[in-house]
């Protein structure tokens, strides 16, 4: 399996995970974020497949800004999440899978001598790092919603 096939398969798996999480959550805001992440992963799959055919996608993602705004709205409304322990654990697993994807792309970028491929792999790694940060914020949000926005660590989403 080459890097393109591996990356496309990984992105499809992450899309499926986000869709499953969207289906399991009862909270409309979190569901919306999971659906946005699923769409991002589907886009990544198309880009990877396009790269394999030498087609590039230059669309800029607004995912992190949109997700941050949804979470801020949830916090302002003092909405309850009703997240079960197993659901929070799923968020952690998805978050960790995003970190694994980032590390895979960084590793493959370090191995390649093709500058175009290296640039694309580093861009994918950066996207996955952003997804990791978002999922980390969601984990924090569901585990301690009363502290989430006031916490100094909240600046994680602005770096995307």
Domain ranges of the chain: 3-145
Instruction: Return the CATH number of the domain spanning residue range 3-145.
Output: 1.20.1260
pTM: 0.68
3-class SS of residue 160: coil
**Which residue, 37, 138, 39, is CA-closest to 88?**
138
Which DSSP state fits 46?
Answer: H
What's the burial of 19, exposed, middle or buried (CB within 10 Å: 0-12/13-18/19+)?
Answer: middle
What percent of the chain has pLDDT above 90? 11
Predicted confidence (pLDDT) at residue 19 exceeds the cutoff of 80: yes
Calculate the alpha carbon distances from 42 to 38, 58, 149, 159 in Å. Answer: 6, 15, 30, 23
With b for 16 or more beta-carbon neighbours within 10 A and e for fewer, the 31-41 pattern comes to bbbbebbbebb
- In contact, 45 and 12? CB cutoff 8 Å: yes
- In contact, 74 and 87? CB cutoff 8 Å: no
Q: What is the pLDDT of residue 9?
A: 86
Mean pLDDT of 118-142: 87
Q: What is the pLDDT of residue 36?
A: 92
3-class SS of residue 25: coil
Assign 116 a pLDDT band (cuts: 50, 70, 90): confident
CA distance 110 to 94: 24
């Amino acid at each position: 399996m080459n890097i393109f096939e591996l990356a496309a398969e990984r992105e499809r798996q992450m899309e499926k995970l986000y869709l499953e999480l969207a289906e399991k959550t009862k909270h409309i805001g979190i569901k919306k974020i999971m659906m946005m992440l699923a769409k991002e992963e589907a886009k990544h799959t198309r880009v990877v497949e396009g790269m394999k055919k030498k087609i590039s996608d230059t669309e800029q993602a607004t995912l992190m800004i949109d997700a941050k705004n949804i979470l801020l709205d949830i916090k302002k409304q003092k909405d309850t999440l009703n997240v079960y322990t197993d659901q929070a654990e799923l968020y952690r697993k998805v978050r960790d899978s995003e970190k694994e994807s980032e590390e895979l792309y960084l590793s493959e970028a370090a191995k390649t001598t093709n500058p175009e491929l290296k640039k694309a792999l580093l861009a994918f790694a950066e996207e996955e790092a952003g997804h990791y940060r978002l999922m980390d914020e969601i984990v924090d949000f569901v585990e301690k919603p009363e502290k989430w926005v006031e916490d100094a660590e909240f600046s994680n989403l602005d770096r995307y």
